[in-house]
Amino acid sequence: MHTITLIPGDGIGPSIADSTRKIIEATGVGVSWELEEAGIPAIEKFKDPLPQQVLDSIARNKIALKGPLTTPIGTGFRSVNVALRKEFDLYINLRPAKSFVGVKSTYADVDLIVFRENIEEFYSGIEHYIDAQKSAAETIGVVTRTGSERIVRAAFEYARKHNRKKVTIVHKANILKFTSGLFLDVGKKVAQDYPDIQCNDRIIDNMAMQLVLNPHQFDIIVTTNLFGDILSDLCSGLVGGLGLAPGANIGYEAAIFEAVHGSAPDIAGKNIANPCAMVLAGAMMLDYLGELVASSKIRQAIAETIQEGKYLTRDLNPEQPVGTIEMTDAIIKKIIAM
């Protein structure tokens, strides 16, 4: 029996978290969920976007499954997502983007993994207006050797373990000579410890274009926080959009699994969100827990449901869509029949 902290989140979060929970339970894996509120629902209940009891629950269980949390733009409270990653030193943000047969997209057979440094640089929260008139503002992006080394090493270790061939280091060292330069320098040094894995590097702007032109030339991508955030959304667009893009935040002591996408306020409460990104994050969580039979059942059931094309949400089948609940039920039926 695994005890897991479950944070449903807000927006489409509660609905896709419900789907994820039901689908995981359908695999027969033993889970005891500790339900916790964070973000806007926690402000409403506890007047705190990140109550201590949430931190205590994750610290105790060392594992959490999280729905998306809205972060107010420009003003308001700081990102709870970023705070959680920092609190538990979840320095790896692992975001795979893999094609599914049956999804209409520009490319078939895309299989990319983004390793995004998850704590430092422009997400370190060191920012302020320079004067009371707010005439200018600055954000300080801190990149450390230790932080760079551990994320690049994580990418190479993953490549070795999963028999992947190539790691591409993405940077902007031509302009950000110190921060991005340090990342590239450390990355190249780490690569020397892995002669069995090819390594190259790309400047971020060129990388964005190359990914759109020919994603098959890439395998594993490792980069700093902001570039990784942007590129992973781009990669999800290459395989059918955010509805199919899961992610994991992993540290030495704890891990939090979530979809790449956000709370999608434009479609919240309408039973139209695709649950698969969070469900696939749940499958990554089961991998992490060693529940490989359960995780492969989930992936197979999703792949078959997509390939059949009968029970798909609007993002995957705009002509004849079904709702979140109906797609969830179709996936569950397949799992039970396995």
User: Minimal distance in Å, beta carbon 167 to ligand NAD?
Assistant: 25
Q: Which residue's beta carbon is nearest to the bound ligand NAD?
A: 262
- Concerning whether 287 is annotated as a catalytic residue, the answer is no
Show the 3-state SS of 212-274.
Answer: HHCHHHCCEEEECHHHHHHHHHHHHHHCCCHHHCEEEEECCCCEEEEECCCCCHHHCCCCCCC
User: Minimal distance in Å, beta carbon 194 to ligand NAD?
Assistant: 30
Residue type, 69: L
Q: How far is 280 from 301, CA to CA, in rounded Å? A: 11
Instruction: Find the catalytic residue in 10, 18, 201, 229.
Output: 229
Closer to ligand NAD by CB, 170 or 242: give it: 242
Closer to ligand NAD by CB, 156 or 311: give it: 311
Closer to ligand NAD by CB, 30 or 265: give it: 265
Instruction: Find the catalytic residue in 98, 123, 233, 315.
Output: 123
- DSSP helix/strand/coil, 47: coil
Instruction: Find the catalytic residue in 98, 172, 297, 334.
Output: 172
Find where tokens 């629902």 sit.
41
Question: Site residues (CB under 6 A) for ligand NAD?
Answer: 12, 68-71, 81, 242-243, 258, 261-267, 273-274, 277, 315
Q: Which DSSP state fits 142? A: B
* Helix or strand (DSSP H, E) at 185: helix 179-191
- Concerning whether 205 is annotated as a catalytic residue, the answer is yes
Q: Angle of helix 292-308 relative to helix 276-288, nearest 10 degrees?
A: 160
The token pair at 31 is 């889970």
Closer to ligand NAD by CB, 202 or 261: give it: 261
User: Minimal distance in Å, beta carbon 182 to ligand NAD?
Assistant: 27
Q: Which DSSP state fits 6? A: E
- Concerning whether 98 is annotated as a catalytic residue, the answer is no
Closer to ligand NAD by CB, 203 or 268: give it: 268
The count of other CB atoms within 10 Å of the CB of residue 193 is 11
Closer to ligand NAD by CB, 69 or 235: give it: 69
Q: Determine contact, residues 291/23, Cβ cutoff 8 Å.
A: no
Pairing of β 137-139 and β 127-129 = antiparallel
Q: Angle of helix 324-337 relative to helix 292-308, nearest 10 degrees?
A: 120
Residues with active-site annotation = 123, 172, 205, 229
